[in-house]
A and B are shown apart, each in its own frame.
Chain A
Amino acid sequence: MDRFLRWTGIAIVIFIAAPLVIVVPMSFSTSPTLQFPPPGFWLGYYAQYFTDESWLRPTFNSLLIALMTTILTMALVVPATFALVRHKFWGKGAANVMMMMPMAVPHIVMAVGYYSYFGSLRLVHSHLGVILAHTCLAVPITFLVLSANLKGFDRTLERAARSLGATPRQVFIHITLPILRPGLLISALFAFIQSFDETVVAIFISGRDAETLPRKMFDSIRQEADPVIAVISTLLFVAVFLGLIAPHVLRLFRKLFSRAAPKPVRATRNTQATTPQEVK
């Protein structure tokens, strides 16, 4: 049984990693098209990516749109999650369903909807249009992550803080927010990735002015199969990989650092401690 599980695990890892094994070498290829295995290796396509306006502009567009989408999504979802998790109100069930809707409806359907609706609002081919559409698509996943975090939050901590003299605002700043920070960061990251990765809606509405990176890659692969696509894929993979190992590296550094400078521990034991009244 153990053996079976191990081999299944290895097979899954290979299956997941296979695209990388193909894409990474292709990014260093000398071939004018996407070709595997590569006939030779050079860095020319990296140079091309970093100098070609037609690649850099979509990259910038994608980053800008993803960032704005993240900000807008968080601004909407954080208050909504607090309301939906912590309060009872009329229509709560319906509100919950509406929040999850964009996840259930196929993107292609959403895309057609945006195309005609945003067209009448003159939002097609604009950054704002893509940002609004992506925000809508990012809401469900952000809400899911955040509400799971908030449900697990022990509210007696807030009561304790109140009893210790904190106003509701201070409780939020000093207790609720710091404890929820990891959950907030992760949900923001999901919103960012959701937007950065989104292709279908972008193809329909981003146009030439707000062209995103996935859309540009899609167009490119249809027309010329430019190996720059492999370069971008590799760079994205490296970025994600760095993002994943960053916390571990940070922790390691912190450990090394704190070992170098240990906290002083007072050795004397004074059992007759003074009372707080005397201290004052």
Chain B
Amino acid sequence: MNPYLQLSGVNKTFGDFTALDRIDLDIEQGEFVTFLGPSGSGKTTTLMIIAGFEDATRGAITIGGHSLAGLAPQERNIGIVFQNYALFPHKTAAENVYFPLQMRGVKKAAGLAKAEEMLDLVGLKGFAHRYPKELSGGQQQRVALARALVFEPDLLLLDEPLGALDKNLREQMQIEIKRIQKRLGVTTIFVTHDQTEAMSMSDRIVVFSDGNIEQAGAPLDIYHRPSTRFVADFIGESNLLDAVVTDAEARVAECPALGSVVFGAEGQPPVVDGQEVALLIRPEHLKLSRDPKEGRMNAKMVIDTIVNYGDNALVIGHRGDTQIRVRVPGADVVILKEGEECHFSWTEDAAFVLDR
């Protein structure tokens, strides 16, 4: 089967600056895909090209097999939620949601009724007659979502829609957006800076870097099997140590910081003897103890800093010149002291290598 939304070889330059180098991406119908990447990596530019507000310098985009080339934004049937919501200040919530229907020739009475149904769906029953400035940030967000969905778009684009909300409201809206998206089954692209948001909401994450797609895959895939150093660093926290493969067959690498290490994680890229690699061990896969742990690989480090988050803590220490980060359960923090020496341990299947 052909993918629903297809970007092939999309390139965008502004003058002599390359904003998008080469974007190839297939998205299935009903999928919830998140664009994740640092500022300026080209996420918004990609969305604007899909929406028709920017023209790609090269490349093609199709939805359901039909090319979008030459279609004006208003002809694309794509719903967009902007970061600042972009609600029309002179229209009430219901009139805002009615607007796309009005543009499609729906009569006022029927259109407003449908707008109110949509407002109910996003949890805004009874707010239909309020103007945007009479609504809270979260409520405006919901109106924007209702407006982008009421005309049954072929695609929903959200550009950092939760950026302006506080943490609690953010989490609430994450769940809400996911619920509504599932219910309507609309294919969705969601842009965010926030990797936990990306992890919790997406069917698939697309990691952007410098106008290229660094990696695309299911959240856990990306987390456990990053294909580049950049992805490993950007998603979650990581200990990335330089190492050289000494025995590709037995999966052993020599690491200046830790000595000889077996890398036994699943799904690692093929390596050859003598290859320079980066060894990845996630902080939560390390354990701290006073004495070496039976049945695990052990090494010593000196604790420099303990950052306590309540339910867990991040312990930052060093071994020689190498910084080591360990995530420990909150209850274990009390036995640790800054400046003390302790052991850290890991299992073979927690060690993953990637190209340096």
Q: Which residues of A contact B (CB under 8 A)?
A: 154, 156-157, 159-167, 170, 174-175, 178-179, 263, 265-266, 269-270, 273-277, 279
Q: Jot down 17 A-B pairs with beta carbons below 8 A, ordered by A.
A: A154-B86, A159-B80, A160-B80, A160-B82, A161-B99, A162-B52, A163-B76, A164-B74, A164-B99, A164-B100, A164-B151, A165-B100, A166-B99, A270-B125, A275-B184, A276-B121, A276-B184
Residues from chain B with Cβ under 8 Å of A161 in the complex = 88, 99
Query: Which residues in window 128-151 of B have CB below 8 A to A?
Result: 129, 147-151
Residues from chain A with Cβ under 8 Å of B86 in the complex = 154, 156-157, 159-160
Query: Which residues in window 80-134 of B have CB below 8 A to A?
Result: 80, 82, 84, 86, 88-90, 99-100, 102-104, 114, 117-118, 120-121, 125-126, 129
Contact A175 B88 (CB under 8 A): yes
B79 interface residue (CB < 8 Å to A): yes
Contact A164 B103 (CB under 8 A): yes
Taken together as a complex, chains A and B put the C-alpha atoms of A174 and B102 apart, in Å, by: 11
Residues from chain A with Cβ under 8 Å of B121 in the complex = 273, 275-276
Give chain A nearest CB distance to B256 CB in angstroms.
51
Taken together as a complex, chains A and B put the C-alpha atoms of A178 and B79 apart, in Å, by: 23
Residues from chain B with Cβ under 8 Å of A263 in the complex = 129
Contact B88 A279 (CB under 8 A): no
Contact B104 A165 (CB under 8 A): yes
Residues from chain B with Cβ under 8 Å of A269 in the complex = 125
Given A159-B82, A266-B126, A276-B118; 19 other pairs, CB 8 A cutoff: A156-B82, A156-B86, A157-B86, A157-B88, A159-B51, A159-B73, A160-B82, A160-B88, A162-B52, A163-B76, A164-B151, A165-B77, A174-B99, A179-B89, A266-B125, A273-B120, A276-B117, A276-B121, A276-B152
Residues from chain A with Cβ under 8 Å of B148 in the complex = 163-164
Residues from chain A with Cβ under 8 Å of B152 in the complex = 276-277
Contact B84 A156 (CB under 8 A): yes
Contact A270 B88 (CB under 8 A): no
Residue of A nearest to B115 (CB): A276
Contact A165 B103 (CB under 8 A): yes
Residues from chain B with Cβ under 8 Å of A275 in the complex = 121, 183-184
Residue of A nearest to B76 (CB): A163
Taken together as a complex, chains A and B put the C-alpha atoms of A174 and B91 apart, in Å, by: 10
Give chain A nearest CB distance to B44 CB in angstroms.
11
Residues from chain B with Cβ under 8 Å of A170 in the complex = 103
Taken together as a complex, chains A and B put the C-alpha atoms of A178 and B80 apart, in Å, by: 22
Contact A279 B103 (CB under 8 A): no
Contact B149 A276 (CB under 8 A): yes
B78 interface residue (CB < 8 Å to A): yes
B230 interface residue (CB < 8 Å to A): no
Residue from the list A162, A164, A279 in contact with B117, Cβ < 8 A:
A279
Contact B114 A178 (CB under 8 A): no
Contact B150 A276 (CB under 8 A): yes
Taken together as a complex, chains A and B put the C-alpha atoms of A167 and B53 apart, in Å, by: 13
Give chain B nearest CB distance to A183 CB in angstroms.
13
Residues from chain A with Cβ under 8 Å of B90 in the complex = 178-179
Residue from the list B88, B117, B151 in contact with A165, Cβ < 8 A:
B151
Residues from chain B with Cβ under 8 Å of A277 in the complex = 152, 184
Residue of B nearest to A269 (CB): B125
Residues from chain B with Cβ under 8 Å of A266 in the complex = 125-126
Give chain B nearest CB distance to A270 CB in angstroms.
7
Contact A159 B125 (CB under 8 A): no
Residue of A nearest to B150 (CB): A276
